[in-house]
Chain A
Amino acid sequence: MTALLEVRQLTRTFGALAAVAGVSFSVRQGELVGLIGPNGAGKSTLYNLIAGAIAPTSGEIVFQDRPVAGWKPYQAARAGVARTFQIPKPYRHLSVLENVALSAMLHDRTVAAACESAQAILTDVGLADYVDAPVGNLTVGLLKRLEVARALALRPSLVLFDEIMAGLTPSEVRGMTNLVAGLPARGITVIWVEHVLYAIMKTAPRIMVLHRGELIADAAPEVLVKDPAVIKAYLGEEMSLA
């Protein structure tokens, strides 16, 4: 099976700092891949590169057999790459429904059709009760779900989730985990950055570990927890104490 996304020797420097340094990996259609690493490891930069928010210093990004490094975010979205933002970025003056409908408008020709699509997705992510609410009234947890809803409303083939569990209660984490786990079956390939490790370890069959801009591991979760380099870089003392 050919890769949906292939990243080759991807590098992005900010001055003397290489936020992402020679990262290579590929993701197949229908995969659910976790991406973990300590703060500052370069996860968000990697997302920004793939989603077109910033251009790479060097290296290649191939999406659906097309070289796309340096594309613009709206080109990425139109090609089928959706993302969430670690710090939610809602449209402040629009309702929850309208926030999601805006993404649906990428494919729906009319506002009414987009609102219908948005309504269904909001029910999926558990925001059905907040459809008409102004976004200013939402808690962080609800805003995270709004981010997920907006990404899914783009009907992407690849979605990049960035810490969508932060601020959620354990039962909300369970609900969201189920939602994410079900995406590959719906034809949506997922890359998932998460600090809520128990959620990602249980759900993602494959996890990549980023440390100081480099990919130091790419394996199944049960292999990862025994990898000395990963333990040293990320899992750390907590893991050895436990």
Chain B
Amino acid sequence: MDAAPLTSKRRTGRWRLLPERGTISLFELLLLAICLVLVAVPLPQYLQDVLIQTFLWAGLALAWNIAGGFAGLISFGHAAFFGIGAYTSSILAANYGLTPWIGLWIGGALAAAFGAVLTLVCARLRGPFFILSTLAAAEVVRIAALNWAALTGGAEGFSILPIASIANMVFESKTTYAALMLGYFLLIYVITKAVEGSRYGYYLFAARDDEEAASAAGVNPLLARTGAMCLSAFLAGIGGSLFAQYFLFLDPTHVISPELSFQFALLPALGGLGTAIGPVLGSFVITPLSELLRSYFGGAGAGLHLAIYGAVLVVVMLYFPSGIAGALQRLAERGRKGAP
């Protein structure tokens, strides 16, 4: 489930091939290089769109993973944080002329505050009960956004003026958006790696694995968990703002939907829960797959793309229970055993 754990024999001075806790591996550098090349080279518009979505979702999945993977706070309500971020920066820009570059931090902060309240209120709930409460909380936010039409535009939606400028955070070129989303994803990856290798990260793992034991080791589990949810919600909120600036249209049924919340949880689960690379791999495999399937089959056999998508998910879950990252790690272990 986790990244390769820290071992006593740290092979210092040598590059690791595959991702490990606390270091950067060649695999990660290679992936970074590919990302940079994909942003730089001219691609057809629709492929650029897939790229933008993939980067955004890599960031969002990583954000979810800090709560769901590291702290064990499996949330089916992250769309609420996403929506709070999206609406906050957009409303601040439209009504008060505040640039989204500042608004997105405010949106993130509001999402974090909501995450903190949610975690503290549901502190006693575990497992399925916690999951259901997050789902319910997100529904409350969605219904509030639908009905508070004066602020959010309600069901008719909320449009962001497509006037391209840096201050408006609206751009002509998809390449700029791709770079922006890549920056977002890399920022969260760096934060994730930092958390994963830190004392705080270990406090989260401990509180997730055994709360009583963690507490007896000096960890305040509620504080650790709440912090994780705040950070996760904050980053998801920023992702919401970025999505708004790209999509330029918000509607509660889309940006605060349970489907979106499931996607948050699905990508890390498929990629490898509780690892840094897992959510990234999840997004890099699943987002293009779902987008490409939609564009190939979306028109002709309506729903066919969803059937294929569903089948792929089932296969991955059946054969790679610890995700793509888990499969990679097993491969690495086999390689190590084979070597003299």
A residues adjacent to B (C-beta < 8 A): 51, 53, 72-74, 76-78, 82-83, 85, 89-95, 97-98, 101-103, 105-106, 109-111, 114-115, 119, 131-132, 134, 150, 154
Contact = CB atoms under 8 A, between A and B. Distances in A.
Nearest to A160: B216
Given A77-B217, A78-B218, A93 B205 contact: yes
Query: Which 10 residue pairs of A and B lie closest in terms of their CB atoms, listed nearest first?
Result: A91-B209, A77-B218, A89-B213, A73-B215, A95-B5, A106-B218, A131-B8, A89-B210, A132-B7, A103-B217
Contacts of B203: 102, 105
8 contacts: A73-B212, A76-B216, A91-B214, A102-B205, A105-B203, A110-B199, A131-B7, A150-B213
A20 B215 CA distance: 23
Nearest to A83: B216
A186 to B, nearest CB: 20
A94 B5 contact: yes
Contacts of A90: 209-210, 213
A98 B216 contact: no
Contacts of B131: none
Given A90-B209, A98-B6, 6 more contacts: A73-B216, A89-B212, A93-B274, A98-B205, A103-B218, A115-B6
A179 B253 CA distance: 63
Most A CB within 10 A of own CB, among B214, B218, B219, B220: B218
A149 to B, nearest CB: 12
A127 to B, nearest CB: 11
Given A102-B217, A105-B202, A132-B7, A111 B209 contact: no
Given A85-B213, A89-B210, A90-B213, A111 B220 contact: no
B325 to A, nearest CB: 13
B198 interface: yes
Contact of A93 (B209, B216, B218): B209
B280 to A, nearest CB: 19
A102 B206 contact: yes
Contact of B202 (A76, A101, A150, A154): A101
B288 interface: no
B139 interface: no
Interface in B248-281: 274
A154 B217 contact: yes
B22 A111 contact: yes
A92 B203 CA distance: 14
B102 to A, nearest CB: 35
Nearest to B210: A89
Contacts of B212: 53, 73, 85, 89
A61 to B, nearest CB: 16
B217 A94 contact: no
B26 to A, nearest CB: 22
A76 B212 CA distance: 13
Contacts of A85: 212-213, 216
Contacts of A95: 5-7
Interface in B201-235: 202-203, 205-206, 208-210, 212-221
A207 B7 CA distance: 40
Contacts of B210: 89-92
Contact of B220 (A74, A97, A154): A74
A51 B215 CA distance: 10
B2 interface: yes
B213 A51 contact: no
Contact of A92 (B202, B209, B218, B219): B209
Contacts of B199: 105, 109-111, 114
A74 B215 CA distance: 5
A93 B205 CA distance: 8
Contacts of B298: none
Contacts of B209: 90-94
B274 A150 contact: no
Nearest to B274: A93
B217 to A, nearest CB: 5
Contact of A91 (B197, B198, B205, B218): B205
A178 to B, nearest CB: 24
A29 B9 CA distance: 38
Contacts of A98: 5-6, 202, 205
A72 B222 CA distance: 12
